[in-house]
Structure 1
Amino acid sequence: MARWTVADVPDQRGRTVVVTGANSGIGFETARVLAEHGATVVLACRDVARARRAAARIRAGAPTPYRRVEPDVRVEQLDLASITSVRSAAERIRAAHPRLDLLINNAGVMRPPPGHTEDGFEPTFGINHLGHFALTGLLLDRLLATAGSRIVTVTSLLHRYGRIDVEHPHSLPSGERRSRRPYPDSKLANVMFTLDLQRRLAQAGVSTIAVAAHPGIARTELARHLPPPVRVFMGARMAPVMSWLIQSSQTGAWAPVRAAVDPDARGGEYYGPDGLFHSSGPPVVTGFSAHARDLGRQRRLWEESERLTGVMCLVESGQSLSS
């Protein structure tokens, strides 16, 4: 089978897409490709000024073989560290876009400064998982009303090192609790959420699907809080000798894009690079960790996420309730 590239992206005209964290890195490149293929793309970002500059860059981009229309790019303010902000953003998106074809839960942090989210959660878990869980629930009815819609959640290779003890819900990395592996745990939660969401969608008999993807190891701003030697190792200056292991954000975006648009994609699949250690290369279907596939843990994580966010995702009717 030929290697998949962005040249394989179908025409996206008529589709409305929301991409979180789309002002830089994987999110920006994902939004750019979809907009250049004709989708109306909403950049849902915490920093509105940066998002507007990103939207301007997409509109002003050089012509490409697949740039079929003038990109239609919008901006919405979304702070995943605040459930109040998530609710407000969802309301604005719903008001502006009655049709929603694709939600890409991309935004994330790794090793942020010490502190808590507005709601008292450990920031890595609160932003990477709980914020996206709430946003998905609040937009779910719009997605279910659109035939063939998708929810794509961007996770990480490091989900394999995550361990979430949902047997004791209060040990989740929220409030005063701390995980020894906050980033892998949050990425494991992304995977578990995708799998549980897909099972619920399938049981409801709807055409909406949930898919996961990871970018391998890519040069993005996600590494900005890592130790200096690691940042140098992952920086652009090392690209000529490290391309076999570390890829650009443009190529890293191929897996989320394929998960979003491949007509052959199935719910519950997981896309990632096919190269050495699955760190770089064209996207293919790959596998989750055994821990992620535990049905009981998935269900308990879902229940605890509803409790923590106050958003109950009712997949059967495509509704969400806020407590």
Structure 2
Amino acid sequence: MVGPAGRRLTRLEADPPAADRRHVHDEPTGAPDPRPPAPPAGRRRRAGRRRLLAVPLVAGCALAGALLTGVVPRPGQPPAAAGAPAASPDRHVPVAAPLPADRPTPGAGAAAAPIGSPPPAPPGGGPHVFSLLQDNGVSPVAYDPCRVVHYAIRPDGAPAGGEELVHAAVARISQATGLAFRYDGPTDEVPSPQRETYQPARYGDRWAPVLVAWQTEAEQPDLAGDVVGRGGSTAVSLGDGPRVYVTGTVSLDAGQFPEVLAAPDGATTAAGIVLHELAHVVGLAHVEDAGQLLHPETVPGVTDLAAGDLTGLARLGRGQCVPGL
């Protein structure tokens, strides 16, 4: 159905990258996405030396684009003035179209200006790749800096100290991007490929929070074998407007994380895994440079964000504010 000014709101599911460095697939308004789906991004363990690998997340192979429906008011406009009016049968008074049930009230939780300020990129920058670019082929898709990025943790199966690992990684991503994050507390929501971006009964009138969960291989087949984590985000756009990430998911292997933590330097390794996945959530894809945390294969001593990672994250913190969403 049609949104404000005849625009449709398009929803694309996203998980991290494939050969084309994209983990979100867009779909032109009213037409199927001609691009092939990309496989996902996460981290896995390799037999033998048991080094950790970041592998592509399954990125929408079975996740088709969908259209968010309904008429919404423009930012700052009261609901009674939104959309095309309909005549009341008894009084012939214009009646506003109902708000759609598949997205929050436009502008809910949006500030008038960016909430935080991203730091400058390191001198000289460094190699980095964005998971998805806007239609101009240059600007990355990012979270709206005028909104708080909420996150929640499903505690089931978490190892000792697991929640602290997540909070520390979120704080590091916030520092590197300037994005503001807020912890909503524990949740019983189970990650799903069909996860709804808007769940008002559970989370209220806003986009669903980024969901971090420990899962077994039975719950999450993408964690089978040596895979220990996967992460990605979902982007939406209002018609031909800029695409914006609105929520994401991180799944961590409940069976393998205790083993990772028990190994020498295990706490540092585990922290790097969680940080790597959250960097995927905010919009970074893998790089070939072995000195970056977003390199597909972990390297001894590289457990924190390096110059290229920080350069990309600083750019992702300068995304567009889109109050219409």
Task: Sort the TM-score into its range (normalised by shorter chain).
Answer: under 0.3
Higher strand share: 2
Normalised TM-score (structure 1): 0.27
Q: Which one has more relative contact order, counting CA pairs under 8 Å at least 6 apart?
A: 2
